[in-house]
Structure 1
Amino acid sequence: MIDGLDPIIHVPKRLAAMAVLANAPSVSFRFLKDHLQVSDSDLSKQMSTLEAAGYVSSTKVGHGRGGSTTYQITRAGRKAYEDHCTALRALIGGA
């Protein structure tokens, strides 16, 4: 019944981040932080997990207070997200 659910994506904050990234060419750290209403450290941790899984890539420009980070969903991330959504729909439809 829970086949296809991705434990990396399933965490609510990561699922929300993937939903945003699946619908935009790239998203800034600040936009994600504000949209998800999380702290810098929490978002950094969640995005590091997604990046380590190969689901997102990041681009950093500059350092310190003037620096910025943007994220993009990878091809593997898009497939994993779509598969996870399909599994969620099947689970909800079968309830």
Structure 2
Amino acid sequence: MTPDLDPVIHAPARLRIMAALAGLEPGDTLTFSRLQQLLALTGGNLITHLRRLEDAGYVTSQRVRGIRGEVTTASLTEQGRRALAAYRATLADILDPVDG
């Protein structure tokens, strides 16, 4: 029997956030505004999903001082990378045909 997909990641917007952040090198970040542009999400929708991912320990965000004032950045935690890898493996198990 295949384990269930992680419900925190499985929501479409959160899966897209995780995938976008997973494309970064560990320790790299994306600004909130850049993530919002990439995913075409409203600010309120993005912050809601980021908070849920943060509560699960998958994402971390911080406010940093930039040239034009403070900006919020987000990155995937090591726990988030492991959770996404497990999610992908589970999804592959579900999608792979049953051997004969």
TM-score between both structures, scaled by the size of structure 1:
0.88
Alignment correspondent of 1:88? 91
Task: Tell me the residue number matched to 1:7.
Answer: 7
Query: Structure 1 unaligned runs (5+)?
Result: none
Distance 1:19 1:68 in 2: 21
Task: State the match for 1:20 in structure 2.
Answer: 20
Larger radius of gyration: 2
- 1:33-87 per-position Cα deviation (integer Å, ceiling 9, x unaligned): 111111000000000000011001111125xx94311111111110001000111
Q: Specify which structure has the higher proportion of helix.
A: 1
Q: Equivalents in 2 of 1:35, 1:2: separation in Å?
A: 32
Q: How does 1:1-95 map to 2 (within 5 A)?
A: 2-24=2-24, 25-61=28-64, 66-94=69-97
Which segments of 5 or more consecutive residues in structure 2 lack a partner in the other structure?
Answer: none
What secondary structure does 2:9 align onto? Answer: helix
Percent same amino acid among aligned pairs? 37
Secondary structure of 1:71 counterpart: strand
When normalised by structure 2's length, the TM-score is: 0.84
| RMSD, aligned α-carbons | 1.8
Tell me how many residue pairs correspond in the alignment: 93
User: Deviating runs (4+, > 4 A) in structure 1?
Assistant: none
Q: State the distance in 1 between where 2:74 and 2:30 align.
A: 5
| 2:5 aligned counterpart, secondary structure | coil
